Chains A and B, each alone.
Chain A
């Protein structure tokens, strides 16, 4: 149950696109399409923005998209806005009813 690997930080200017990677192993990300992404603003509870690697729940902006290839999942945010500045976490099913999260990525909108 090792944490998924995410970059500690990413940054971008308003209007630009950024991508956050989430690297796991063949025991989690590589085996299951059950990858989700969470956005957390300071002092707030996490909010899920992507499920099943690439699906977006109703109410989440279409600027957020996800993908998965092999042992790596990715979250892309296009048309960056100031309100996107937050921490982002990936999560994957790891088998035997267990889950593993990533270390989190701090997104700074310049």
Chain B
């Protein structure tokens, strides 16, 4: 069974850091680009960051560029998101998503991990 399980969310003060993890199973992890997408409460989805196969490229939304870093460990079938200098507007449910390049879609998603930035 294909699974993506996010972890690492929680309550954090503004300006602090948090590292999210996404552990995957059921597919050949290193064959796929992976992304982070977040859902702000009461708002829509927002693409946050993506990383290519072999960590060939990392891309970020303008809203997180310079503060967030995406990475992957193919040996552990895992995706990460290091979030620094967190702001209240980063409060969201963070999803890990597998990218299917032949369809150009996020074809599999986890259930998300909640990040709350508040003092």
Residues of A within 8 A of B (CB): 1, 3, 6, 34, 36, 38, 44-48, 51-52, 55, 57, 89, 91, 93, 96-104
SS of B interface (majority)? strand
Contacts of A99 in B (CB 8 A): 35, 47, 50
Query: How far in angstroms is the closest Cβ of chain B from A73?
Result: 14
Contacts of B31 in A (CB 8 A): none
Contact A97 B59 (CB under 8 A): yes
Task: Knowing A34-B104, A51-B103 are in contact, say whether A45-B109 is a contact too (CB < 8 A).
Answer: yes
Residues of B within 8 A of A (CB): 35, 37, 43-47, 50, 57, 59, 61-63, 95, 103-112
Given B35, B44, B95, B105, which contacts A104 in the complex, CB threshold below 8 Å?
A: B44
Contacts of A52 in B (CB 8 A): 103-104
Contacts of B43 in A (CB 8 A): 103-104
Closest residue of B by beta carbon distance from A98: B59
Q: What separation, in Å, do the CA atoms of A96 and B65 have in the docked complex? A: 14
Contacts of A55 in B (CB 8 A): 103
Contact B46 A3 (CB under 8 A): yes
Contact B103 A89 (CB under 8 A): no
Contacts of A97 in B (CB 8 A): 50, 57, 59
Q: What separation, in Å, do the CA atoms of A70 and B31 have in the docked complex? A: 34
Contacts of B63 in A (CB 8 A): 1
